Amino acid sequence: MAAHAAEPDAVVPPMPERTPKALRQAIAADAPHLLPDFDAHWQRAIADTYDLGPVPAFMARWWCEYAMARDPKLDAHVTELQHRAAEATDLAEAKALLDEVAKIRYSMRKLEPGA
């Protein structure tokens, strides 16, 4: 677990086990603002369809969302990059900012439970 300067005593919670139930519990505890979207997505993509095929893609998306949201410093950095890209008047600059967001998101996929 890593402490961040934004909040001197703040500790980034560890990643949960890689199951929908564990991920939902972690979101509820550490990033409750994501819970309505998580639940709505689960309902629409999995529960309503009775199709487990989309579960890996669902988990990949929400794994990254939680990984960023649990770390206020990282979440703020990604948000800042997205805002700067939206306001950029130079296409190359906007693309570079969004590429950085994509790299961060991609790196979150590699996090293991407990990290």
User: How do residues 41-55 score in pLDDT, each as one tens digit?
Assistant: 999 999 999 999 999
Does residue 65 sit within a domain? yes
The count of structural domains within the chain is 1
Does residue 63 sit within a domain? yes
Does residue 76 sit within a domain? yes
Does residue 4 sit within a domain? no
Does residue 59 sit within a domain? yes
In sequence order, what are the residues at sequence separation of 6 or more whose Cβ sits closer than 8 angstroms to the Cβ of residue 79? none
The answer to whether 2 touches 37, Cβ cutoff 8 Å, is no
In tens, the pLDDT along 58-74 reads 999 999 999 999 999 99
Does residue 11 sit within a domain? no
Structure tokens, 68? 């960023």
User: Domain limits at 48?
Assistant: 17-25+32-109
pLDDT at 6 over 70: no
Does residue 6 sit within a domain? no
Whole-model pTM: value is: 0.84
In tens, the pLDDT along 81-108 reads 999 999 999 999 999 999 999 999 999 9
Does residue 10 sit within a domain? no
